[in-house]
Amino acid sequence: MLDETLWRKAVEFHGHMCPGLAIGFKACEGAIAELGLDASRLPAVDEEVVCVTENDACGVDAVQILLGCTYGKSNLIPRLRGKMAFSFFVRGTDRRVRLVLEAKNEGMSRDEYQNYLLTTSYEQLFKIGKPSYGLPEPARLFPSQACAACGESTAEFGLRVQGGKLVCLDCYDAYEREGF
């Protein structure tokens, strides 16, 4: 079980205590246990631990500070589905786990719910399973080119051909047909 010192560290990073941060804190606890991670070696210094988060809520801050998963290192990957769910992977292994919050706030105050989350085992809070998808590939570097419309340098994956010219996604006028 993660201790009070780590909770305080998460609170300091996030800026305040809240149930959302507690959810992420307990998800980290579950990831450490389920993946057999050495808590004394965390946060990870490279991309060893990968988190795919299905939300952009407060709990993601706990994942960043406790497990070392960050957007900049490309080991914190948003897969926004509106679910309080986190999938964790360990690169170079087949270890993976998906934690989906099942605990509900049934009439508790904000403080009561936060305390409930922090004092209840992660096994009771989350449905524990395997992600339905594999480990995302490591980050790749792409060549950049200037957008023909705005002139801003854009990585190749973010360019589209429009009128025979390469334009960025902000300048691209997408062709879409509703109803199909």
**Average of pLDDT values for 81-93?**
96
Per-residue pLDDT band for 158 (boundaries 50, 70, 90) equals very high
pLDDT class for 180, splitting at 50, 70, 90? low
- Alpha carbons 97 and 87: distance in angstroms, whole number: 6
* pLDDT band at residue 179 using 50, 70 and 90 as cut-offs: low
Rounded to whole angstroms, the Cα distance separating 117 from 17 reads 12
Residue 136 and residue 92 in contact, taking contact as beta carbons nearer than 8 Å:
no
How many Cα atoms sit within 13 Å of 35 on the Cβ side? 29
Angle at 47 (CA atoms; ends 35, 55), nearest 5 degrees: 70
pLDDT band, very low/low/confident/very high, at 45 (cuts 50, 70, 90): low
- Go through the domains of the chain in sequence order and give each one's CATH number: 4-129 (3.30.1330.130), 141-180 (3.30.60)
Residue 43: predicted pLDDT: 82
pLDDT digits (tens, 9 = 90+) for 98-146: 999 999 999 999 999 999 999 999 999 999 999 999 998 888 899 999 9
